Structure 1
Amino acid sequence: MAKKKTSIKDIAKSLGISITTVSFILNGKAKEKRISEELTLKVEEYIKEVGYKPSHLAQSLRLGKSKVIVFMVEDISNQFFASIARKIEEKAYKSGYKIIYCSTDNDPEKAKALIDTFKVRSVDGFIITPTPALESTVLELLEEEFAVLLFDRWIPSIDCSYVVVENEKSAFEATSHLIQNGCKNIGFITVESDQIQMIDRLQGYGHAMESHGLKKNVFMLPFHNLSEFGASSKIQQYIQKNSDLDGLFFATNYLAFEGLQALNSLKKRIPEDVLLVSFDDHYFFTLFQPNISAIEQPIESIAEKLMEGMLMLLEDDESSKPDYKVTLPNILHIRESSDYKI
């Protein structure tokens, strides 16, 4: 059972004073209302002792909404996040809201600092791609009754609204496509990450391989500083070491870019020598020769559902927020890089 939150009424009852007096002190009006410093200090100390946090919803009802939503992602310059940000901005403006963008670099400390900054500026809601170790911060936002909507990834341990895509199912479909075209030795190239969407993609690949009685072959690169790490040369070494690879599945488009460079250096022909699929489509894939098969995330639908969910959370006047959990299907675009029978 969840622990009951301390309310202003509880504070007033415990200290033997009126709810109005507590409210004045919490809102910085003690001097204006001629409340003694002694009583003010007593209330402030008690608040710290019980860990009371004011309800953002209650403050919004008193002070009026800011009509500002924070869009906090891993990297706003990334094409996927930037495309969604642009569409969200259009939809938010039509509903009378403005968007603040920021990047966390997947750094939990930076994410927490940004959230603390925006909280004191009374923003109305947060759309967040959560970093690792952000559970307690998200819980605090929910306890303070901010509108919170996670996307791209969710936190299994927290009951929070989210919009995500079918990562595992799509990875299974892409791997099965390679197998159906004759691949028996498929390498899955991903990053070392405990992010739920990356885990799901790995599981989708693994389940497809297992269901066809094939051996898994996973190559993981460090999550950060791929260029400094020499990702392309590391992928090249991996391919050379596994000379029997006849298929490659890249967990992200930026890994696919590094992989294409590695294959070019090795003079490997696509699709004659190796079939290739990438998760997360990119306009470059239709320009590259041969065109690269890829899983497209539904950017328009994601943006639509994010704003629909956020507005639902913001417009709900009850202390308990509505349950909004959406999982959207992706599209596998089969192009020249995998449309070939081995």
Structure 2
Amino acid sequence: MKRVSLKDIAAMVGASPSTVSFVLNGKAKEMRISQVVADKITAAAKKAGYYPNQIAVSLRTGQTKILGLIVESIAGNFFASLARIIEDKAEAHGYKVVYCSTENNGNRGNEMIRMLSQRQLDGYLITPAAGMEKDIQQLIAQRKPVILIDSYFPGLQIPHVLVNSYAGVTEGMEHLIKQGYRNIAWVTVDLDLIQVHDRTRAYTDSLKKHKLKPNEQWILKLPYDYSKEKSVQAICDFLANNKGIDAVFFATNYLGVTGLESITKLKLSIPQNLAMICFDDHDIFRLYPGGITIIQQPIEEIAQASIDLLMSKLGKQQVMHEVTGKDLVELPPALIVRGSTLQK
């Protein structure tokens, strides 16, 4: 069956091909084409099943109007919400978003970059995993705008948007200590990411500030690729073997959800037997009786800042070679106090 062309649509409605082109490319008002004619063209194109040839459009304009979003995990609450908001905000600028996940695997992340680069996308928003440095630098060498989200590579000047993890954990620790907790455990993920290191550093620095000696036995690092069952059991064993712990701080929301299951399995009451706080929120933390105290990440602001930064870079020839302080965005988190950290 012959593919319907722009000229075919023009013949159907009795308009010039250029008029049809303007309408179907969203330039009807700009070219002062009446709404009646625009509606007639749009209806005819829809009925005929006509869609602009994106390859031809990109060759003509030098743009695909498509952005690549590579996140840690689409299944995670934080990244799923972030992806949805970014998609909405990109659409407001006339862009579509193609997204995929790395599962914190650098090799997989590099494969995603290479796959997306074949589609000649206009720009990229990436939550980087260790090992993705070279492929991201290759995008930059190709003059593709890249904005890193949630993390960055120390030593590489690449625009990024992230939350101040150190400040967030520090505020959470100050709250626990103020509430009377002294034997605070730390449960984190064993990943070589700057935000993970910052959170652990804030935990140990806070203990030292209050002359509370850090106890290595009270720090649990779980492999990222552990199954949920293994993680639940590991946290159960950790808590059971460290009876003196009176509070536990989880470094991510998925660890917090797993930890909540472990605490329930041990039949411990929150906060009577054990106080709990988590970096990042989750629906379960709000629904849990009394609620779980959390460090809230401003997802809306992260998405907006990321899109704004990317839009400011698109179309500029020296796009990634003039990184200024304005390109390195660090947003403040917020402590949300709930019933899991009542005064001891």
| TM-score between the two structures when normalised by the length of structure 2 | 0.79
Q: Are 2:102 and 1:104 aligned? A: yes
Contact in 2 for aligned 1:88/1:303 (Cα 8 Å) = yes
Q: CA RMSD in A?
A: 1.6
Contact in 2 for aligned 1:88/1:307 (Cα 8 Å) = yes
Q: Report the Cα distance in structure 2 between the residues aligned to 1:262 and 1:77, rounded to whole angstroms.
A: 21
Contact in 1 for aligned 2:158/2:323 (Cα 8 Å) = no
2:175 equivalent in structure 1 = 177
1:281 equivalent in structure 2 = 281
Q: Report the Cα distance in structure 2 between the residues aligned to 1:316 and 1:284, rounded to whole angstroms.
A: 44
Mapping of residues 132-147 of structure 1, within 5 Å: 132-147=130-145
Question: Shift of the alpha carbon at 1:61?
Answer: 9.4
Q: Are 2:159 and 1:158 aligned? A: no
Q: Are 2:211 and 1:213 aligned? A: yes
Mapping of residues 208-287 of structure 1, within 5 Å: 208-216=206-214, 217-228=218-229, 230-287=230-287
Q: Report the Cα distance in structure 1 between the residues aligned to 2:114 and 2:203, rounded to whole angstroms.
A: 38
Give the number of equivalent residue pairs: 281
2:71 equivalent in structure 1 = 73
Question: Shift of the alpha carbon at 1:238?
Answer: 0.9
1:20 equivalent in structure 2 = none
2:343 equivalent in structure 1 = 341
Question: Shift of the alpha carbon at 1:258?
Answer: 1.7
Question: Shift of the alpha carbon at 1:153?
Answer: 0.6
Question: Shift of the alpha carbon at 1:157?
Answer: 2.1
1:64 equivalent in structure 2 = 62
Contact in 1 for aligned 2:281/2:297 (Cα 8 Å) = yes
Q: Report the Cα distance in structure 1 between the residues aligned to 2:82 and 2:63, rounded to whole angstroms.
A: 24
Secondary structure of 1:337's aligned partner: helix
- Residue 255 to residue 318, structure 1, CA distance change in 2 (3 Å): closer
Structure 2 counterpart of 1:168, which letter? Y
Q: Report the Cα distance in structure 1 between the residues aligned to 2:139 and 2:309, rounded to whole angstroms.
A: 16
Question: Shift of the alpha carbon at 1:232?
Answer: 1.2
Structure 2 counterpart of 1:249, which letter? F
- Give me the identity figure in percent: 35
2:310 equivalent in structure 1 = 310
Question: Shift of the alpha carbon at 1:77?
Answer: 2.1
Q: Report the Cα distance in structure 2 between the residues aligned to 1:92 and 1:341, rounded to whole angstroms.
A: 44
Unaligned runs of 5+ in 2: 1-57
Question: Shift of the alpha carbon at 1:281?
Answer: 0.6
Secondary structure of 2:340's aligned partner: coil
Q: Report the Cα distance in structure 2 between the residues aligned to 1:203 and 1:295, rounded to whole angstroms.
A: 16
Match of 1:326 among 329, 333, 337: 329
Contact in 2 for aligned 1:312/1:322 (Cα 8 Å) = no
Q: Report the Cα distance in structure 2 between the residues aligned to 1:278 and 1:226, rounded to whole angstroms.
A: 20
How big is each residue's C-alpha offset from its partner over 1:182-225, in whole Å with a ceiling of 9 and x where there is no partner? 11100001111111111111011111111011122211111113
How big is each residue's C-alpha offset from its partner over 1:279-326, in whole Å with a ceiling of 9 and x where there is no partner? 111121111113100111001100110110000110424353553110
Question: Shift of the alpha carbon at 1:63?
Answer: 5.7
Q: Report the Cα distance in structure 2 between the residues aligned to 1:245 and 1:294, rounded to whole angstroms.
A: 19
- Residue 200 to residue 61, structure 1, CA distance change in 2 (3 Å): farther
- Residue 220 to residue 322, structure 1, CA distance change in 2 (3 Å): closer
Structure 2 counterpart of 1:218, which letter? I
Greater Cα shift, 255-264 or 245-254 = 255-264
Question: Shift of the alpha carbon at 1:62?
Answer: 7.8
Q: Report the Cα distance in structure 1 between the residues aligned to 2:60 and 2:128, rounded to whole angstroms.
A: 30
Q: Report the Cα distance in structure 1 between the residues aligned to 2:330 and 2:102, rounded to whole angstroms.
A: 23
Structure 1 counterpart of 2:332, which letter? P
| TM-score between the two structures when normalised by the length of structure 1 | 0.79
- Residue 105 to residue 222, structure 1, CA distance change in 2 (3 Å): same
Unaligned runs of 5+ in 1: 1-59
Question: Shift of the alpha carbon at 1:120?
Answer: 2.1
1:122 equivalent in structure 2 = 120
Question: Shift of the alpha carbon at 1:117?
Answer: 1.7
Greater Cα shift, 66-75 or 212-221 = 212-221
